[in-house]
């Protein structure tokens, strides 16, 4: 069985979309894949309760318990490795990972970013797109490399920027596309491996 470990920091809406797609689209039968665990750096992450309700193992590695990023990433890797992951999925995991962590999962660590990369890496992507006068924004699923938001692109979806958009209204439309795109990109990755 191909084990998928999902890392979250908050409400887990992308994680929930992935879990729903895995069940609905029979990933276990089609790809020999399952969501093995959901791991968070925050004990109060709402997505943990969603995962538990689906019968998925959960774990918490509080980043504030560690003096350095390296120490945190080492502890996180131990938990992740306990599930022998074929794929590690960042779904709203709000930590910049160290090169050591990233390199240990090279080629099997993916992320979703709320812009059409390479445009607007980092934070505040929706407001930055509006401020730049973009007519189109969107979402990108990419492999994670040691350079923030610059890994090989696996999938993208475009979303129009409307004249009266705020960062919040644009974010909501982009998020609805994230929930469709991320599961599709993961399914494609699984079918290719």
Query: In whole angstroms, what is the distance from residue 112 CA to residue 115 CA?
Result: 9
Query: In whole angstroms, what is the distance from residue 85 CA to residue 8 CA?
Result: 16
Q: Residue 15 — φ and ψ, nearest 5°?
A: -60, -45
Is residue 150 part of the annotated active site? The answer reads no
Query: In whole angstroms, what is the distance from residue 173 CA to residue 33 CA?
Result: 29
Please count the other Cβ atoms lying within 10 Å of the Cβ belonging to residue 120: 22
Q: Residue 101 — φ and ψ, nearest 5°?
A: -65, -50
Query: Do residues 9 and 93 touch, judged by C-beta distance below 8 A?
Result: yes
Single out the catalytic residue among 113, 142, 150, 179: 113
Enzyme catalytic residues: 113
């Amino acid at each position: 069985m191909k084990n998928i470990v999902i890392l979250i920091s908050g409400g887990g809406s992308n994680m929930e979309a992935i879990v729903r797609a895995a069940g609905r689209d029979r990933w276990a039968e089609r790809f020999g894949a399952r969501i093995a665990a959901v791991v968070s750096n925050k004990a109060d992450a709402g997505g943990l309760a969603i995962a538990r309700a689906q019968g998925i193992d959960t774990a918490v590695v509080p980043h504030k318990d560690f003096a350095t990023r390296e120490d945190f990433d080492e502890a996180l890797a131990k938990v992740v490795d306990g599930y022998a992951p074929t794929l590690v999925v960042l779904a709203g995991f709000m930590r910049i990972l160290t090169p050591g962590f990233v390199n240990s999962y090279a080629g099997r660590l993916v992320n979703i970013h709320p812009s059409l990369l390479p445009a607007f890496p980092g934070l505040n992507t929706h407001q930055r797109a509006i401020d730049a006068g973009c007519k189109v924004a969107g979402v990108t699923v990419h492999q994670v490399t040691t350079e923030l938001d610059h890994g090989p692109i696996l999938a993208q979806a475009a979303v129009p920027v409307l004249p009266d958009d705020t960062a919040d209204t644009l974010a909501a439309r982009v998020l609805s596309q994230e929930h469709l795109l991320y599961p599709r990109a993961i399914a494609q990755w699984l079918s290719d491996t």
